[in-house]
Structure formats: structure tokens, C-alpha cells
Amino acid sequence: MGNVDLGKHQHVGGTGLRDKTDIILGVDLGGTSLRVLAVDRRNQILAVEKNPTKPDASASSLIKDIAAFSRKAAESAGVPWQRVLAVCVGAPGAVDPERGIVYKAPNLGWENVPLGRRLGALLSIPVFLSNDVNAGTIGEYVLGAGRGTRDMIGIFVGTGIGGGLVIGGKLHEGCRGAAGEIGHIVVERGGPRCGCGKKGCVEALASRTAMERDVRRAIRSGAKSVVLKLMKERKRTRMTSSVIARAMGKGDPVMLQVMKRAQYYLAILVANLVNTLDPESIVIGGGIAERLGEGYVAPIRATAREFYLRQDGRERIKILPGSLGDNAGALGAAVLGWRRLGQT
């Protein structure tokens, strides 16, 4: 895909005559859920379809699910299939946008899956592909918290930590399509081992997975915490963002300490990015940011500013929670799809 020029910003709103409306289907494909939005030229959301992804599903089975929910989204929007111009999928892991291949998506168990070709054969329309975090970054840049800026960095904190870069109004993907892997910036030499194999990556210190590890370790060491009780009440096997938010609300001392540590390492990451790229805005998304909002981001912002090389005008760099929530990735995928068609 190269550098995608995002051009003029657009906004969600209004309805219109749907049987005469051309749409794109924006898909956010994750290891735990699938979300499909029917989106028109003005980036209005006409319909939303979502469903859990089956953890043991084969690539063929999941691609059939994407096709089925894509058709369902168009039907829910009241738009005939012939007016669906394309599907754009934001997929986790390493992707080749030009060839439509998902090279490696560990959360899905995929390697070298020709998603574009297979899904296109099922739907008989063009299929575009992007990395899911790049798509989420574009969603926030064009329609969300980063709207109105030229340079923006997206940081998405979930089971891992991913990033996206918009520089000079264009999505920067790098010469191999690998730009934005900010979760693997090392911020503590000799720190915990990351899923990538290195030690001390910010993902291994500040992701939701890392926070759960630290909470469980503290509890095993004898610290008192309500986290496991909350997980049991909500029938969760993992420490979700909602569990984190409830534990924080109850003033759980373990959760508060673990959160403070994670925010510190995220602040170091933010400061490094500011010192490298000097962007107008950094938008922090993902489930924790969505649940806690400014309460999550404010300590990150305050600590990061201490580490800026240039202190003059530091308030000009906006560090904000994302505003699109769960729709960021699918909306961003739709925006990228319109750009690929060259129609907006």
C-alpha cells in the first residue's frame, strides 16, 4: 500500500437513501472478536455486526465467517450487495497490503494466509488488507481524537501493545510494511521476556497481559486483592479491561500499584516517540483507555513530559485517550478502503 494519503477529514453523521448508497465494509478481525461496519462515503456507520471469533477455528472457517457477517452487515444496512464496493480488513500481525496476505497472526494461528484472494472469491468484490493497529490509528486520525492534526501516533494497549504512525498526513508503513511496532521498543534492559523473545519490551511491561502477570504474581506472594474475585464473578479467565476498571474503582492496592507501573513505562515510550518524531498528537486507544479515559492517560502524559528533550511548547503535543472505542479499527479499515478505491 505504501504511504496512504488521508486527505481531507470526514465525519460521521446523517442517514440518506440507503438503497442508492454505495458502501464499504470495514472489518476489524481480532483473536477474540470480529466486527464489521457498513460505512458510506461520508464515513457514516449504517450497520454494525459483531461476533466472537472461535479460538480453534481454521483460517478457512474464519474467512467464511467474515464473508457471512459482511453480507449480514450490508443486509442490516438496507444496502443491496451490488452497492457494496469493497471490503477492507484490519488483520492482526504482519500483513502484505499489496498482495492481501497475512504473513503471521499468532493470535489467530495464521501463517501465510492469502486472505484477500480467498475472501474476494467468496464475496466477488475487491478485498483490501491492512494491519489492525494501522487501521485503528487511521480511524482515530480521520474521525476520532486525532482529527485536525497532520502528525499523529496511535498507541493501542490490549493483550499486546501496537502502534501506527501518521506523518505529514500519510500513513507511514515503512519499506517492509513493518513500521509502528512500538510495543517492542525496549524500555527496561533485562526486563521481563516479551512474546517476541526479547526482554524489556514495553509490551512485556505495560500491556494488559503484563499487568495480569504482575497482579497474579503479587497475589501469589501474599498481597490482598479483589481482582481474582472480580474475574470469577464476571466469569472471566483473563483480566479484562472491565475487571481492571472495577478493581481500580474499588481502590484495590495491587491493581493500583500495577497500573502505576504500567503507566510509567508507557510514559517512557511516549517520551521516546516525542523525542524522535515530535508529533502534534498521540492517541492512546484500546480497552483500558476506553474504560478509564483521562484517568488512565493523565498520569502517562504528566510523566512523559518530564522526559521530553525540549521543554518549550511541550503542551502543544496532545496526548489523548481514543474516542472511537471498539469501532476504531473497523472505521479506519473503511477509510483505508475508500482511499484504495480513490473515491474520496
Region 16-27: what's the mean pLDDT? Answer: 81
Please give the full DSSP string across 129-192, using - where no structure is assigned: EEEHHHHHHHHHHHHSTTTT-SSEEEEEESSSEEEEEEETTEEE--TTS-TT-GGG-B-STT-P
What pLDDT, on a 0 to 100 scale, did the predictor assign at position 344? Answer: 59
Region 83-112: what's the mean pLDDT? Answer: 90
Residue 126 has pLDDT above 80, yes or no: yes
Taking only the tens place, the pLDDT of each residue in 154-178 is 999 998 999 999 999 999 988 877 7
pLDDT band at residue 105 using 50, 70 and 90 as cut-offs: confident
Q: Which of 29-38, 52-61, 184-193, 315-324 has the lowest mean pLDDT?
A: 52-61
Residue 277 has pLDDT above 50, yes or no: yes
Query: Do 4-138+327-341 and 149-323 have matching folds?
Result: yes
C-alpha cell of residue 326:
471498539
Q: How many CB atoms lie within 10 A of CB 220?
A: 8
Domain map (residue ranges) of the chain = 4-138+327-341, 149-323
Contact (CB, 8 A) for 87 and 125: yes
Class of domain 149-323: alpha beta
4-138+327-341 under CATH 3.30.420.40, yes or no? yes
What pLDDT, on a 0 to 100 scale, did the predictor assign at position 1? Answer: 44
What pLDDT, on a 0 to 100 scale, did the predictor assign at position 5? Answer: 47
Region 117-143: what's the mean pLDDT? Answer: 96
